[in-house]
Amino acid sequence: MSAQQSALGNLLADVAKAVRDMSDDEFEKLVKGELRPSISFKERGSGIKGRKPSPILSEERLRSIQTKLDAARTREEGHQIVQEAFPMKEGLFIFAKFLDLPVQRKDKIEKIQDKIVTATVGRRLSSEAIRGGYSAK
């Protein structure tokens, strides 16, 4: 493979990744022509190739936060857990994606956090309230 081929391949792979990362809404808009892609080029940082996902965001870590949320008794407690675990938007966003929630990169931190707490602690509390102590077993 020539260097040119390889560079072109990488470029297309980047485009593919950008498409994969789109939300359903964004994708639909793109198809309808309501969204326009914008491409920019940056200097490649020296260490970029060997970059691993930071340990904060390992799957194991994400799973452990999920387990903590499963045990939270109130929504406030849920918010606290999420805030402490993901003070930055990037981590919060990755966690929301891990939970398969409909979030977008442009969403505000508060909104993503709300979505996470609602989908985990909130759903469980709502469900328990309506079930009134009965279970599906």
Partner 1 sequence: MQIVSVINYKGGVGKTTLTANLAAELAFRGKRVLLLDMDAQCSLTFSFVTPDYWRDELGGDGTTGSDKTIKSWFDGIGDDDLETPELGSLIVPNLKVAESLPDNGGKIDLIPSHLGLINVDLDLAYMLSGVPPGRVKRQLAKVYGLLRSHLGKYVAEAKYDIVLIDCPPNFNIVTKNAIVASDGILIPAKPDYLSTLGIDYLVRSYGSLVKEFNTGSGSDDIHPEILGVVFTMIQIHGGQPIRAQRDYMQLSNISVFSSQIRENKTIFASAPEDGIPVVLHGYKQPTYSSIVSEIESLAVEFCEKAGVK
Q: Which residues bind partner 1 (CB under 8 A)?
A: 23-24, 27-28, 100-102, 119, 123-124, 126-127, 130-137
**Joined tokens for residue 101:** 């929630």
CB atoms within 10 A of CB 63: 11
Q: What is the smallest separation between the CB atom of 127 and partner 1, expressed in angstroms?
A: 5
Q: What is the smallest separation between the CB atom of 3 and partner 1, expressed in angstroms?
A: 33
Tell me the CA distances in angstroms from 56 to 61, 70, 98, one per residue in order. Answer: 6, 19, 13
Q: What is the smallest separation between the CB atom of 15 and partner 1, expressed in angstroms?
A: 16
Q: Which is nearer to partner 1, 3 or 71 (CB)?
A: 71
Residues 6+ apart with CB under 8 A from 81: 65, 68, 69, 72
Phi, psi of 58 (to 5 degrees): -65, 155
Q: Which is nearer to partner 1, 48 or 136 (CB)?
A: 136
Q: What is the smallest separation between the CB atom of 100 and partner 1, expressed in angstroms?
A: 6
Q: Which is nearer to partner 1, 37 or 132 (CB)?
A: 132
Q: Which is nearer to partner 1, 59 or 100 (CB)?
A: 100
**Joined tokens for residue 124:** 């469980």
The residue to which tokens 């929504």 are assigned: 75
